[in-house]
Structure 1
Amino acid sequence: MSSNCAACGDLIRDLYYMECSQCTKRFDLICVNVSKAIYDEYAARQKNNRLCPSCTSALPRGDNTTTPARGLLAIHDTDTYTRESDNVNTSRGSKPRTTKPKIGEDKPPNTDLMELIAELRYLRQEVKEVKQQNTDIKQQVSTISETLSQTLNEHSQQLRNAELEICSLKNTVDQLQQKLATQQQVGMRKSLEISGVAETNGENLSHILITASKKIGVELSESDIDEIARIGPKSAKSPNNSPKNQTPRPIVAKLTRKLKRDELIKSAKTRRLTSEHLVDGQITPVFFNERLTKENRQLFREARARTKDYEFRYCWVRNGGIFVRKADGKPAIRIFDFVALDQRVGPSKHPENTEHAIP
């Protein structure tokens, strides 16, 4: 166990020391003026029976062998001085004073070194604080990064959900529009369209329809006609009061029975009908067709143009549906929209004239 020298106060770091057998104070070998070689030659009895100067001076006076002049520590035995010097005074002062400063002696302070140490301590504290700040910043950045990542993931999921919802809504709108167009076409199942009849002032459209029906062999009366009128914008008049556009507006008639309409259309296909005896003026061909919605009329017009371009032999309308056939013996193809027309017939060769009005 380490302890301090009772004489100089320095720490005794090894086993080379002398201990007073009475007060148990310890002294290093320099202070008792004993070399390590002599210490090694001491017997255990000699080492354990030594007294320090204080304990020696407290002994009863007898001879001068116990005075401090004989040595810093005295051996409490008859052969005390067998290995020590006969004249202790000759060895007094031989102790190296350069290695052991006096007790209480102040060393001159090194101001620059102290300032440097203080500065290093301050710098060390600052570095520690900076490290702590960096740790806090890293934690904050990590928290912000996790929050941003979570927010981005939530927004991405919301966008995906919105895209899916938009796609679903588009499909729903397309279905509703298709359903609406179908219902509109169903609503026209009793109507027919008559084209090729010139317009005249004060014309009687019911009389024209009844007369035309008789010419193709179908009996029609006023009670069979629910509504009849020309559709489309009226043609502009020239200075001589004749239409500039030679193509007259079609006549649309809604009958009270679908069977009567189908009979008229079927008979008109088997017999050639003209405007003779219907209206005055130039004789022109007259056609009876099913009435179509605006979208289906545009689709039918484009289908007829493409069947000519791609050498399809037939293109017709039946019960509001548009059909094409490549040649005799080939199956009929139903055309629902422009996409089906592109796929089943072919893309338009004149895209500048194509009107894709169907949504």
Structure 2
Amino acid sequence: MQKCGGCGKFISASAAAKCNCCPNVFHRVCVAIPDGVKISTTWECPDCVVKRPKTDNSATPVKSVEDGYRPTDAAPSGYVDIDHVQDYSFTGESLNNTALDQTQPFRVELSLELRLFREEMRQVREEFAEFRRELAGVYSALGRLDELENRLLALEQHHDKHEARISALEKSRELEIPENMITSLQRTVAELKQELSTREQEALVADLEISNVPEVRGENTIHTVCVLAKRIGVELDERDIVFAERVGVGGGRVEDGTEELRPRRIVMRLTRRHMRDELLRAARVRRSATTEAPGLPTPPRRFYINERLTSANREIFRQARATARSLGWRYVWTRRGRVYVRQADGRPRMYLRSVDDMVGVFGLGTVSSELSK
């Protein structure tokens, strides 16, 4: 938008009077051109007219101010020759009133625009202030993050130093531990293991296991136990049995589905310990008892009733039997969960609590060879 060459205010192109000689434009009021009068394309602004060289025009009659402005008769209706407008003038009062009337609405509009502009500028300043505050908060947070990162790095370094010191102390302690202390600790661990095994065996004080009893699908194990007890002369009621079940891994089944090649052993727990002892005594008396009885699978087999041992004691018993057989020792048995051996009649019995005891009884070379088998 261009500015008026007279008053310096902004002007729209439709309401402007453009000079033919210079690029300036003017309000109609500023150059005294009434509204509705068509502006000639050869119109010149007052500055250009003043700059035009003057000629001697003494023949031109002088016209008074009262004559006012009149368009030429030759001009068409609504057309004014602007070239002659500069030769006339309005009275001072009428010109001032006309300019004031024309500029008053523009001033009001410009004042509103300036007020809106100031309001927008105030909002922009407030937004910039808020943005500065937010940016300051971001800078502060970044500063705190840097501080936290530095503290974390310091903590990591401190932690690494402590780990290095602990590793050094552990290595030094390993080097400082005497051999006798290690031996003592190993002995303590062995004693604790032995005590734990003893406690486990005491928990099986009312348990028995029966082996070499044929197994069939869908069998009633409690009924089978009662029948076997009757075979050795002990009347056993089902209410005297806490549980009876097959354990271990057996061989494959025969295709007709009646018997296993290697039957699993039966473990049972009785409600009273004296019933267990009675069954053991009867089994020792009738060692040749078989499974030949109504309700039991055929062919009949010889079955064995023994104390139920923990896995550790069962392994000791197995190794003791194998070693005693190879050395010609006559007796290997269990009593109340303990494994005993005797070389011959009249010789003292030996209590085996662990493999170390077997080494002391049978000798290191013999036990080592049996363990390697």
- Give TM-score, length-normalised by structure 2: 0.50
Q: 1:305 to 1:256 in 2, by over 3 A?
A: same
Which residue number in structure 2 is paired with residue 188 of structure 1? 204
Which residue number in structure 2 is paired with residue 287 of structure 1? 304
**Could you tell me which amino acid in structure 2 is paired with residue 311 of structure 1?**
G
Q: 1:223 to 1:342 in 2, by over 3 A?
A: same
The CA deviation at 1:196 is 1.1
**Aligned runs of 1:296-307 on 2, under 5 Å?**
296-307=313-324
Q: Which of 333, 338, 342 is matched with 2:355 structurally? A: 338
Q: 1:354 to 1:242 in 2, by over 3 A?
A: farther
Whether 2:346 is the aligned partner of 1:329: answer: yes
Whether 2:224 is the aligned partner of 1:208: answer: yes
CA distance in 2, matches of 1:232, 1:223: 25
The CA deviation at 1:348 is 6.3
| Aligned residues of 2:216 and 2:258 also touching (Cα < 8 A) | no
Which of 273-282 and 290-299 deviates more? Answer: 273-282
Which of 274-283 and 192-201 deviates more? Answer: 274-283
CA distance in 2, matches of 1:355, 1:192: 30
Which residue number in structure 2 is paired with residue 10 of structure 1? none
CA distance in 2, matches of 1:199, 1:184: 28
Which residue number in structure 2 is paired with residue 220 of structure 1? 236
Which residue number in structure 2 is paired with residue 263 of structure 1? 278
SS of equivalent residue, structure 1 residue 288? strand
CA distance in 2, matches of 1:352, 1:332: 23
Which residue number in structure 1 is paired with residue 265 of structure 2? 250
The CA deviation at 1:352 is 6.7
Give CA-to-partner distance per residue, 1:71-124, whole Å, 9 cap, x none: xxxxxxxxxxxxxxxxxxxxxxxxxxxxxxxxxxxxxxxxxxxxxxxxxxxxxx
The CA deviation at 1:175 is 2.0
CA distance in 2, matches of 1:322, 1:184: 15
Q: 1:230 to 1:168 in 2, by over 3 A?
A: same
SS of equivalent residue, structure 2 residue 177? helix
The CA deviation at 1:268 is 0.3
| Aligned residues of 2:330 and 2:342 also touching (Cα < 8 A) | yes
Which residue number in structure 2 is paired with residue 318 of structure 1? 335
**Aligned runs of 1:1-359 on 2, under 5 Å?**
159-161=175-177, 166-237=182-253, 239-241=255-257, 246-271=261-286, 272-277=288-293, 279-347=296-364, 354=371
The CA deviation at 1:207 is 1.0
The CA deviation at 1:336 is 1.2
**Could you tell me which amino acid in structure 1 is paired with residue 204 of structure 2?**
M
The runs of 5 or more residues in structure 1 that have no matched partner are 1-151
Q: 1:224 to 1:158 in 2, by over 3 A?
A: same
Q: For the aligned residues, what is the CA RMSD?
A: 2.9
The CA deviation at 1:204 is 1.1
The CA deviation at 1:190 is 0.4
Q: 1:309 to 1:348 in 2, by over 3 A?
A: farther
| Aligned residues of 1:348 and 1:354 also touching (Cα < 8 A) | no
The CA deviation at 1:337 is 1.2
CA distance in 2, matches of 1:353, 1:240: 39
Give CA-to-partner distance per residue, 1:235-270, whole Å, 9 cap, x none: 433555466x62210000011111110110111011
CA distance in 2, matches of 1:158, 1:305: 41
- Give TM-score, length-normalised by structure 1: 0.51
Give CA-to-partner distance per residue, 1:212-244, whole Å, 9 cap, x none: 11121212111110111011135433555466x
CA distance in 1, matches of 2:200, 2:249: 21
Which of 231-240 and 156-165 deviates more? Answer: 156-165
Higher helix proportion, which one? 2
Give CA-to-partner distance per residue, 1:293-351, whole Å, 9 cap, x none: 11111110111111111111111000001111111111111111112112212346585
State how many pairs are aligned: 204
CA distance in 1, matches of 2:289, 2:365: 32
The CA deviation at 1:285 is 0.7
The runs of 5 or more residues in structure 2 that have no matched partner are 1-167
User: Percent identity of the aligned residues?
Assistant: 36
